[in-house]
Amino acid sequence: MSSKSSSPKAPATPAPSKAAVALLVLGVAASALSIFQWSQLLTLRAGGATVCGVSDTVNCETVWNSPFATRLHELFGIPVAGLGLVWGLTVVALSAVFLARERSGKSVAPASQGLKLTALAGVASVFVFAFASYQTGVVCPTCLGTYALVALIAGVAFKGLPSVAGEWGPALGWTVGATVLVFVAVALPGRSLSTPAPKAGALLPPAPTEASVNATTGAASANSSPASLEAYLKGLPMDQQQFISNALAMYRRDTPKPAAAPARRLYGPATAPVKIVEWTDSKCPHCKSLVEELAVLKKRVPEGKLSLEARQFPLDGACNPAMQRRGPDAPTVRCVAAKAQICLEGASDFWELREKLFAAQAMLDTERVMEIASSGSMSRSQLESCLASADTAAKLQEDTSYALRYHFTGTPLVVVNGRQALPSAPFLYALVMAEGNPSAPAFDVLPPPRAMPMDDHAGHNH
């Protein structure tokens, strides 16, 4: 009897140990996924394309650039991916403490309960982030992977670890302490990574001051900052210098094409030495970045050196024959936004309203388009009449046909003096300051170009 009564006690401890090991492994997996997301965000902020920018409906970039994600980034100093890394490493730390205390014969209750608290925090965060992601109207594949890992960790923590009544107070102290230590460990190097919140014009020089602009010609003087195009290029980070070198090589290889249609609305003089034509889609994240950068660029270059023409390439087969027609449940916001911008071309506040449309991209639907487009000089009734007109439809067809003359791989499409150019503000600024001459001597300070396919730095929405 004595041997039978003692035998059931033998396997009592291995189950919690296996659960803690499983949590350790899952915590490492969650941390690795967060590091991957962070690296992809760095790529995106540098102007590159990410692996999960699959289409307009499956796109992590839209979620990462959402107002919610941006506010969290500003609040904590690290992006949402960094917060995910903090959570994953906290799971790893508490799992390691559990195993170490169990091996030394000490109570594992604080670590056990701490892991459950951490799991609960993860589940609560998933609901918050999933709702914010849902509001953007796109699916974020890497986010779904994170949600799955959080669910697994919560399941293992509550099913596999022992519960001890009255230990929640010490467990809370352990959990908060571990989280703070991990946050500090992640935040300090994280800030040095300079994962920037998307701020337009960060790599452009300050606008010319009145003292640095010639009162007669409106041109920047030699005393403006930077003193020259060569000084500007030398002052850029090395990765940006390499990028401009690559972009310049591609630009030089392209053959200029004459304009396929006269400009309907132009910023700047028609005689400007640099003429930029750009095609955008209202829901394309890269297009939003371009519009924001161009808004800054217009203020940073000397007056008269640049003209800008905005055209439309909506990624919706309902109004763009170049696109595959979408199903009946597809949103029509792209078509409505494209036509609304065409309708506003004659308005005095065209550029301002256009920038407002792209600023609201994360929450943009057809009603929001109508609200923004009719919030200025054009009334709602005028806008509705224009949207339904055959003339507006014809102008949209002109825009899409014009764009198709270029073999582009994604929106936005940028054409400078008839040649396709990468949608990079520093590169466009350099071309403007070189007055459109891709062989200007100032470019000699750049490193030799490297091979780079066009779609490496274009949107993947087309």
The answer to whether residues 215 and 65 touch, using CB atoms and an 8 Å cutoff, is no
Are 53 and 59 in contact by the 8 Å Cβ rule? The answer is yes
Q: By the 8 A CB rule, do 459 and 313 touch?
A: no
0.75 cut: is pTM over it? no
Which residue do the tokens 């946050």 mark?
A: 183
Digitized pLDDT (tens) for each residue of the chain, 462 residues in all: 444 444 444 444 456 789 999 999 999 999 999 999 888 887 766 556 678 766 667 778 778 777 688 778 877 888 888 899 999 999 999 999 989 988 988 888 888 888 899 999 999 999 998 888 887 777 888 899 999 999 999 999 999 888 766 667 777 887 888 888 888 888 876 554 545 545 677 788 876 654 444 433 344 443 344 569 999 999 888 888 999 999 999 999 999 999 999 999 999 999 999 999 999 999 888 899 899 999 999 999 999 999 999 999 999 989 999 887 654 444 589 999 999 999 999 999 999 999 999 998 878 889 999 999 999 999 999 999 999 999 999 999 999 999 999 988 888 999 999 999 999 999 999 999 999 999 999 999 999 998 754 444 444 444
Q: Is 288 left (phi over 0), alpha (psi -120 to 50) or beta?
A: alpha
Contacts 24+ apart (CB under 8 A), 186-192: 186/78, 186/82, 186/85, 186/86, 186/89, 187/76, 187/77, 187/78, 187/82, 190/38, 190/77, 190/78, 190/82, 191/77, 191/78
